[in-house]
Structure 1
């Protein structure tokens, strides 16, 4: 493992495997209000959107670069990570813990 990070909203673990030619990012999105995985959450990476499956998991392959990841779902607060610098052979495990968005729709 190269590095790890844990906040109230997400946790990450970055691994290095010289045998991979692509960067693999995977993880799970949880809804803390119901203490369960969250299907159909959007994981936004730049201009691309990936969706979690019925088990709350997502997986994607990326090119080298610097990335911020956002988890989004209707009725829940958006979570955006700090930037990650990813290189060929890196794997990133990224788990999100989403909570209810209490922002009023109208003032």
Structure 2
């Protein structure tokens, strides 16, 4: 019974991913596509601590589907290439609340600046 539930969950997850990919008309990530700046969609920004205002290095910035991700440098800055469909970005770091953006509606050649202010999470970590 448990194996059947796992199989059903796996099939549902695959169907959901397939439907998102089909509806977004994703870019094919090949050298020829990414080599042209006109075809790239670039999101840049910075992540800072909400309380101190200090830049936060090594914060993971990713799309919700986690197909594209990067991390911030020592100055809290990042650059991320994403696809042209509606995307939602997430900033995550241990000990801080995850931050999500609203959907970004971008198309080929667009650039966007998305900054994050992360708030310390007072809840204890659980093993």
* TM-score, normalization by structure 1: 0.74
Determine which structure has the larger helix proportion and give its number.
Answer: 2
Instruction: Say whether the 8 Å CA contact 2:69–2:80 is kept in structure 1.
Output: no
Aligned-pair Cα RMSD in Å: 1.6
Paired position in structure 2 for 1:41: 59
1:58 counterpart = 2:78: yes
- Runs of 4+ aligned residues of structure 1 deviating over 4 Å after TM superposition are none
SS at match of 2:121: coil
Q: Deviations over 1:10-55 (max 9, x none)?
A: xxxxxxxxx7221110000001233200000000212232100111
Greater shift, 74-83 or 42-51, is seen at 42-51
Q: What are the residue-to-residue correspondences of 1:59-78 with 2, within 5 Å? A: 59-78=79-98
Gaps of 5+ in 2: 1-36
Choose between structure 1 and 2 for higher RCO, CA contacts under 8 A separated by at least 6 residues: 1
SS at match of 1:85: coil
1:82 counterpart = 2:87: no
Measure how far apart 1:99 and its partner are: 1.1
Count of matched residue positions in the alignment of Structure 1 and Structure 2:
88
Structure 2: distance between partners of 1:83 and 1:62: 12
Instruction: Say whether the 8 Å CA contact 2:41–2:84 is kept in structure 1.
Output: yes
Structure 1: distance between partners of 2:125 and 2:57: 24
Instruction: Say whether the 8 Å CA contact 2:86–2:103 is kept in structure 1.
Output: yes
- Please say which structure displays the higher CA radius of gyration: 2
